[in-house]
Amino acid sequence: MEYKDYYKIMGVARDATQDEIKRAYRQLARKYHPDVSKDPQAEVRFKELGEANAVLKDIEKRAAYDRLGANWQAGQDFRPPPDWNAGFEFSGDGANGKGAEDFSDFFASLYGQAFAGGSRGRPEFHSRGEDRHAQVMIDLADAYSGATRIITLGTPEVDASGRVKMRSHQLNVTIPRGVRAGQHIRLAGQGAPGVGQGKAGDLYLEVAFNPHAHFRVEQRDVFLDLPLAPWEAALGATLDVPTPNATVNLKIPPNSKSGGKLRLKGKGIPGNTPGDFYVVLQVVLPMAESDAERAFYAGMAEQFKSFKPRSRLGA
């Protein structure tokens, strides 16, 4: 089945106004009307024009046709998307008093079953609006306590001249406590508007965390690299350690090693099964910049001369 480029048939651009489509149809319909035209292809052209006009003259049906995309070329093999007929409904006879059987297989594959057997009157076209997707950035602390964000969305609409423009509007979005990065927040009815009496689609917001200077996140677990002085690691210490929502008093055990982890169970991102908070120990050596400091390190070397830091390498 060949794809029908209704814009090409009507001789108008894809962004043509409704008035431009109306004028083009009137001019071409007069030119190719079988009663007046001497063109041997007049009847075929006249039927093609009627079919194209039946779709493009109606903003709702035109919007649905445009959803097929602009990448198809006339004559290419075409099959409707698998879900094309989902949510579509027509009532009434075919356009211009014609039934679907008067138009091409392409038209019938899109609208034919919906046109068949209806009552008289203007055809009505109904389709659910498409779902939309966006990203919302939050702070890690928002996942611990919940928050409210204002987001700005752009919605396409047809202006008075028949052209599509974007209208901006704002939404207050509630960020639930315990939300994770990559999780989607569904806002029902905030997607693309429906066609006819079709319901609007939904808006899905994918949650992402703003980068943090100290914390990193893996699923619901939160990690903090905690610098330690050598004596704190060797002798042990009790330190105030920040978490995303509080400061905790943490005991560092003696003889702690760099890279060691201390787990605070359930102190990660909240949830039915909350994550954990991990403190990753990082021993930081002070610089030996004065004679006294260099002498101190020399004394350490003498005191710990049996210490072999590279014993695993055989040295």
Q: Does domain 6-115 have CATH number 1.10.287.110?
A: yes
* pTM, to two decimals: 0.59
Percent of the chain with pLDDT over 90: 45
Own/partner long-range contacts of 245-254 (Cβ < 8 Å, ≥24 apart)? 245/141, 245/144, 245/145, 250/279, 252/228, 252/281
Give the homologous superfamily in CATH for domain 132-209: Urease metallochaperone UreE, N-terminal domain (2.60.260.20)
pLDDT in tens, 66-109: 777 655 555 556 665 554 543 444 443 344 444 444 566 676 66
Domain locations along the chain: 6-115, 132-209, 215-303
pLDDT in tens, 169-196: 788 899 999 999 999 999 998 887 776 6
Longest dimension (CA), the chain: 113
Confidence of residue 157 (pLDDT cuts 50, 70, 90): low
Where is average pLDDT lowest: 5-9, 156-160, 267-271?
156-160
Q: Residue 282, Cα to own-chain centre: how many angstroms?
A: 38
Q: What are phi and psi of 273, to 5 degrees?
A: -120, 95
Q: What CATH architecture is 215-303?
A: Sandwich (2.60)
pLDDT in tens, 202-261: 889 999 999 999 999 999 999 999 999 999 999 999 999 999 999 999 999 999 999 999
Q: Is the pLDDT of residue 4 over 90?
A: no
